């Protein structure tokens, strides 16, 4: 018997830097980037979200970091310069994996 295998398609918008730009700065690349309810599974303008740095909100908080809800200290996200990273693409049998690699400091 020939069974078809179905792949679960993920909504790209929730993982895209262009959606982040719309939510933070109201600058949208496509109409779909500006629609905050829902998203699309295929797009010609997808860019993975940029990494952020985390720092403790209160440096005097003695609770451990990343110990789970209610036990860890609060973290704040710090935006990093886009030029600090290079986008890499790696081909696998599943498709192309996109990820950021820090550039070497000069």
Q: What is the mean pLDDT of the chain?
A: 87
User: Rounded CA gap, 6 and 19, in Å?
Assistant: 27
pLDDT at 1: 55
Confidence of residue 104 (pLDDT cuts 50, 70, 90): confident
Mean pLDDT of 38-48: 89
pLDDT at 75: 92
pLDDT at 92: 93
User: Rounded CA gap, 22 and 36, in Å?
Assistant: 9
pLDDT of residue 80 exceeding 90? no
pLDDT digits (tens, 9 = 90+) for 29-38: 888 888 888 8
- Answer for the pair 53, 47: CB distance below 8 angstroms, yes or no: no
């Amino acid at each position: 018997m020939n069974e078809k295998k179905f792949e679960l398609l993920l909504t790209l918008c929730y993982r895209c830097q262009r959606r982040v730009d719309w939510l933070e700065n109201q600058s949208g690349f496509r109409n779909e980037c500006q629609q905050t309810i829902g998203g699309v599974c295929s797009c010609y303008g997808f860019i993975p979200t940029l990494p952020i740095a985390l720092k403790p909100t209160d440096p005097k908080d003695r609770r451990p970091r990343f110990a789970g809800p209610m036990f860890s200290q609060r973290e704040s996200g710090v935006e990093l310069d886009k030029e600090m990273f290079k986008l890499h693409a790696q081909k696998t049998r599943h498709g192309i994996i996109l990820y950021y690699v820090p550039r070497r400091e000069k």
